[in-house]
Amino acid sequence: MLKLSNYSDDILKNLSLTLNNQQSLIILGSNGAGKSTLAKVLCGITPSDILLQNKPLYQYTTKERTKLINYIPAKLEIFDDYLSLDEYLNLSKLHTLLESSNMLKLLALEKLKNKPCQQLSSGEQQLTMLASAILHNAKITIFDEPTANLDPQKSRDVFSVLKSKLFQSKIIITHDLNLAYKIGYDVLYIKEGKIVFSNSSEEFFTESNLNDFFGTSVKRIKDEIMVNL
Amino acid sequence: MKYLMYFLAIILIILAPFHGQIPIEFYNINNPTSVAYKLFWEIRLPRILVAFFAGGILSLGGLIFQSLFKNPMSTPYTLGVATGSTLGVAFAIVFGFGSFVSLFGFFGALFTVLILFTLTLKLKSYETNSLLLVGIALAFFYNAALMILFYLSDESQSFEIIRFTMGSVDVVGVENTLPIILASLGLLSLSFFYKKELKLLLTSNDYAYLKGVNVKKVNTILLVTVSLAVGVCVSLTGPIGFVGLIIPHILKTIHKKSAEQLMLPIFFYGGFFLVLSDLIARNLGNNSDIPIGIITAFLGGPFFIYLIMRRK
């Protein structure tokens, strides 16, 4: 459904990627490897020849495009001082029958409804963006570190939302290896702008692979991936 | 409280034409033989209209520019549109096209918009910051050109140029206010047409893009419209700075709503602010008007600083 062939720029090098219908993907890689850059190419913010359902993304009308792909950045970016959480969510209500009030309930954001987005804490902003992704309801949603800034309880809530049937296809960029492991999607590992690993979750999370990619900083203990500080 | 403010502002705007060095009696404005009739319809009313609509255009234009550029400092002045207009006027004065001053002013603004527009098409992606930098560079260039014109001009021409740059809403004849009224209506209707897009652009360009806005197209249309409206404005009144910067900020601080919900209030209070400034300018001096730009800066500056200091 999504196909990027031999894409290169300052950071990414001759990168090709295919995502089939209903397939979801985890993208891993160290800081500065080009993960977010890739996300911006995939969603069209950075122009490229990427194909969605065998047609170049730039040939779609803006409305059709919103149906196909959405991207949730790592940080909520908002210029206006007073745009409220509720207004922000309503801007995102595109291809869903769900009401934004349901989203507020689901993620326990009701009390903050009328608060300006700029005054929310970074964790609250993270949840706001997740809610906006559900309301947008695109075929493919790309998440850039969806569990950064969250306390353990909320991380778990977000994990269950990500794992649920609320989304169709997902591409999740993360540093949270335990999340990557537990969610079980195919894994793509990017290093210095190149894909160095692309296979199933089981293939990736083996003792030897973990050792190759993360050295001694990561350990698999029983059924958990632990960061060894 | 907010409604009371509107009410008082409207009353003041209605009363404004009757105050001045020669007071006008209300019952005389329908009597074509009286001096008051001529004074009201030919001089005072056009003045008030120009002040109101110029204030509205500059303020709403400021709001839109701040939203598009995601920069609280940007106004149509930042992109050199007003300076371009001033240059056009100075050119007309120095080279003997004195009777076409407004036309030259307008073309000065139009020319600037064309330069900016061409550059926008040449920029790889829509980077508003680069455009802002281009605008600033352009303004410096224009200022140098203005210096040359000053150098070439004689004393009376220099005085005329300086007087223009101080700003004035002195327009004679109601028919001459038509361009600025039309420009206002054009700007207002287009801003409302693109209200949803503007709201999305208030978050970030990326977010607006992902929600289906053709960012480059909408940005360009709004930029050109605002610049043209400001061009009409500046060619009539001279560069009255500051209004476009402070009115949007003041209203945002008072209302605490997202910018796209404040378009009408900002237009209205921008207009009110200039009518008030003009009223003061007309009544303060003994025999002549004080340039309105001086009043707007004197009134607006301290109040603006007060608001900034009070902000949490």
Report the DSSP beta bridge partners of residue A56.
A51
Nearest CB among B125, B202, B210 relative to A71 is that of B210
Q: Which residues of B are less than 8 Å from A91 in CB distance?
A: 199-200, 203, 207, 211
Nearest CB among B206, B214, B252 relative to A82 is that of B252
Sole residue written with tokens 């500046």 = B234
Q: pLDDT value at position A58?
A: 92
Closest-approach residue (CA) in chain B for A117:
B203
Domains contained in chain B, number: 1
**For residues A109 and B122, which has the higher predicted lDDT (pLDDT)?**
A109
* Interface contact A44-B67, CB threshold 8 A: no
Cβ-Cβ pairs closer than 8 A, A with B, add up to: 63
Range of the domain at B88: 17-310
Q: pLDDT value at position A193?
A: 93
Cα separations (Å) of A229 from A30, A208, A226, B10? 16, 19, 9, 68
Whether B125 and chain A come into contact, CB under 8 Å, resolves to: yes
* Interface contact A45-B252, CB threshold 8 A: no
Task: Quote the CA–CA distance of A74 and B256 in Å, as a whole number.
Answer: 27
Q: pLDDT value at position B38?
A: 85
Cα separations (Å) of A172 from A163, A169, A205, B26? 11, 10, 16, 72
Instruction: Dump the DSSP string for chain B.
Output: -HHHHHHHHHHHHHHGGG-SSS---GGGGG-TTSHHHHIIIIIIHHHHHHHHHHHHHHHHHHHHHHHHHT-TT--TTTTTHHHHHHHHHHHHHHTT-GGGHHHHHHHHHHHHHHHHHHHHHHSSS--HHHHHHHHHHHHHHHHHHHHHHHHHS-HHHHHHHHHHHH------SGGGGHHHHHHHHHHHHHHHHTHHHHHHHTT-HHHHHHTT--HHHHHHHHHHHHHHHHHHHHHHH----SHHHHHHHHHHHHH---GGGGHHHHHHHHHHHHHHHHHHHHHHSSSSPPPHHHHHHHHHHHHHHHHHHH--
Is the pLDDT at A138 greater than 90? The verdict is yes
Distance (Å) from the C-alpha of residue A67 to the closest C-alpha of chain B?
A: 9
Burial A187-221 (b: 16+ CB within 10 A, else e): bbbbeebebebbeeeeebbeeeebeebbeeebebe
Name the DSSP class of A84. Answer: B
Task: Quote the CA–CA distance of A40 and B187 in Å, as a whole number.
Answer: 34
**For residues B311 and A228, which has the higher predicted lDDT (pLDDT)?**
A228
Task: Quote the CA–CA distance of B6 and B268 in Å, as a whole number.
Answer: 9
Nearest CB among B202, B206, B255 relative to A80 is that of B202
Closest-approach residue (CA) in chain B for A79:
B203
* Interface contact B212-A84, CB threshold 8 A: no
pLDDT tier, A39 (very low <50, low <70, confident <90, very high otherwise)? very high
3-state secondary structure at position A101: helix
Is the pLDDT at A67 greater than 70? The verdict is yes
Whether B206 and chain A come into contact, CB under 8 Å, resolves to: yes
Residue B12 in any domain: the answer is no
Q: pLDDT value at position B126?
A: 57
* Interface contact B203-A66, CB threshold 8 A: no
φ, ψ of residue A122 to 5 degrees: the values are -65, -30
Q: Where are the beta strands (DSSP E) in chain A?
A: 2-7, 15-19, 25-28, 51-52, 55-56, 69-72, 140-144, 169-173, 186-191, 194-199, 218-221, 224-227
Whether B262 and chain A come into contact, CB under 8 Å, resolves to: no
| Average pLDDT estimate for A143-170 | 92
Report the DSSP beta bridge partners of residue A187.
A26, A199
Nearest CB among A66, A69, A79 relative to B203 is that of A79
Residue B4 in any domain: the answer is no
CB A92 within 8 A of CB A165: no
Express each pLDDT in B131-158 by its tens digit.
Answer: 778 888 888 899 999 999 999 999 999 9
What ipTM score was computed for the predicted complex, to two decimals? 0.93
Residue B30 in any domain: the answer is yes
Q: Domain-by-domain residue ranges, chain A?
A: 2-227
Is the pLDDT at A68 greater than 90? The verdict is yes
Instruction: Dump the DSSP string for B206-262.
Output: HHHHHTT--HHHHHHHHHHHHHHHHHHHHHHH----SHHHHHHHHHHHHH---GGGG
Whether B202 and chain A come into contact, CB under 8 Å, resolves to: yes
Task: Quote the CA–CA distance of B76 and B233 in Å, as a whole number.
Answer: 11
Task: Quote the CA–CA distance of B88 and A198 in Å, as a whole number.
Answer: 62
Residue B3 in any domain: the answer is no
Strand ordering across the sheet containing A15-19: A15-19, A2-7, A51-52, A55-56
Residue B29 in any domain: the answer is yes
* Interface contact B259-A80, CB threshold 8 A: yes
Q: Which of A120-134, A162-176, B26-40 has the lowest mean pLDDT?
A: B26-40
| Average pLDDT estimate for A24-52 | 94
Q: Which residues of B are less than 8 Å from A78 in CB distance?
A: 202-204
pLDDT in 10s for each residue of chain B, 312 residues: 778 889 999 999 998 888 887 888 777 778 888 888 888 888 899 999 999 999 999 999 999 988 988 888 778 777 788 889 889 999 999 998 878 888 898 889 888 888 877 877 776 555 667 777 888 888 889 999 999 999 999 999 999 999 888 888 888 888 889 999 999 999 999 999 999 999 999 999 999 999 999 998 998 899 889 988 998 898 889 888 788 888 999 899 889 999 999 999 999 999 999 999 999 988 887 677 788 888 888 888 888 788 778 765
Nearest CB among B206, B213, B258 relative to A80 is that of B258
Yes or no: domain A2-227 corresponds to CATH 3.40.50.720: no
Q: Which of A12-16, A215-219, B205-209 has the lowest mean pLDDT?
A: A215-219
Distance (Å) from the C-alpha of residue B263 to the closest C-alpha of chain A?
A: 14
Q: pLDDT value at position A88?
A: 95
Q: Which residues of A are less than 8 Å from B214 in CB distance?
A: 62
Express each pLDDT in B209-251 by its tens digit.
Answer: 999 999 989 988 998 899 889 988 988 898 887 888 889 998 9
Distance (Å) from the C-alpha of residue A212 to the closest C-alpha of chain B?
A: 36
pTM of the model as a whole: 0.91
Q: What is the mean pLDDT of chain A?
A: 92
Domain of B248: which CATH number? 1.10.3470.10
Residue B9 in any domain: the answer is no
Closest-approach residue (CA) in chain A for B256:
A82
Closest-approach residue (CA) in chain A for B63:
A80
| Average pLDDT estimate for A52-61 | 94
Q: Helices then strands (H, E): number in chain A?
A: 9, 12
